[in-house]
Amino acid sequence: MGTSTALVSFAFDYYLMVVIAAAGTLQIASVLADIRGLLLFRNTVVGYSFGISLVLFGYLLFFATAERNVNDTLGGLDGNVQFVLFLLGAITATLLTFVVSSVLNRRMYEVSNVTDGLETLRRTTYLKAVLVRLRSIRS
């Protein structure tokens, strides 16, 4: 396998780990901050355990599937690439959580005031809050 092919494969594995682990981290943070609109499980213990499991699964998928002690000149990732991939992975995980939690929590109450950022997601889902925001912009 050439160095560039190895780099792409390595970068994809890293990105995948970040997406999975960040999705888990977001579940843990949502339980701790009581952001119910982002939770995938109503039971907080289940939500917390699911979050930890996702983080561990992400790590396992990355570290247990190949040798990861690789120099960045031979297919590993340098700090700058890691930073960009982490950012992309975290954004992907956030967007995925917004969509999935909105579908799973579709019966949550629709609020009329969505001016206070993430605080709004304690009471409603992301997609419902966005719809309310769009309606208020139109009117």
Partner 1 sequence: MRELDEALFLWINGWVGKFTPMDEVMKLIASDYLVPVTLALILFALWFAGTDLGTRERYQIGIVVAVFAVALANSSIEVLNNFYFRDRPFLNHEAELLFYRPTDSSFPSNSAAAAFAITGSVGLFHRRLAIVIVSLAALYAFSRVYVGVHYPLDVLGGAVFGLVAVPIAAVVVGVMRPVLLLSLRWMRLMLVA
Tell which one of 30, 101, 102, 105 touches partner 1 (CB under 8 A). Answer: 30
Return the exposure string of 68-85: e unless at least 16 CB atoms fall within 10 Å of the residue's CB, then b: eeeeeeebbbeeeeeeeb
For residue 39, state whether it binds partner 1 (rule: CB under 8 A).
no
| Beta carbons of 62 and 85 less than 8 angstroms apart | no
Interface with partner 1, residue 116, by CB under 8 A: yes
Phi, then psi, of 72 in degrees rounded to 5:
-65, -15
Least separation in angstroms between residue 117's CB and partner 1 is 3
Binding site for partner 1 (CB under 8 A): 14, 17-18, 21-22, 25-26, 28-30, 32-35, 38, 55, 59, 62-63, 68-74, 76-77, 79, 82, 86, 90, 94, 114-121, 126, 129-130, 133
